[in-house]
Amino acid sequence: TASNTFDFKGSVEDLPKSANYVTRGWVTQVKNQGWCGSCWAFSATGALEGLHKNVSGELVSLSEQELIDCSVYYGNWGCMGGWMNHSFLYVADHGLEGEKDYPYNSSKVPPFIPPLAPCRRDTKKDVIKGPSFLLWADMFNVVIESSIDTI
């Protein structure tokens, strides 16, 4: 079972001066939200992409646009703002498609105009399946603890 503490056995001097997780294949490239106030969606997909990579071994760019379009009933407001944790609840219930199947198109939306676009998700294209996400969440502490000292 995972504990809430982690005992670091090294010293600060042993840690690398820098680490590029993109070149290591652990995270996707930096993305641009444009005018849209969708930082919450980008933070959610970034965390989920890393978790998916740790669990499956596959790095996939996930769809911020699906979260923007489809998670309004979870307390998110598209380009007007939202919450990373609300996005996790949405993904636990519905799953999430990849960026290539549900691409980001909110970058050209002028600020202060809520893009209440229809949700056009296709469950057959989900990269993350809703129920499996809950299992991943349970594994999260174990994955983080086992990864920290191998950075």
Q: Please name which of 58, 130, 140 lies closest in space to residue 97, comparing C-alpha atoms.
A: 130
Q: Which domains does the chain have, with CATH numbers?
A: 29-148 (3.90.70.10)
CA gap 117, 70 in Å, rounded: 9
* CB count in 10 Å sphere of residue 32: 9
Q: What is the mean pLDDT of residues 7-23?
A: 82
pLDDT digits (tens, 9 = 90+) for 49-101: 988 888 889 999 999 999 999 999 999 999 889 999 999 989 988 999 999 99
CA gap 87, 107 in Å, rounded: 19
* CB count in 10 Å sphere of residue 38: 29
pLDDT digits (tens, 9 = 90+) for 91-150: 988 999 999 999 998 776 555 555 567 899 999 999 988 766 665 555 555 555 555 555
Supply 147's token pair: 């990864």
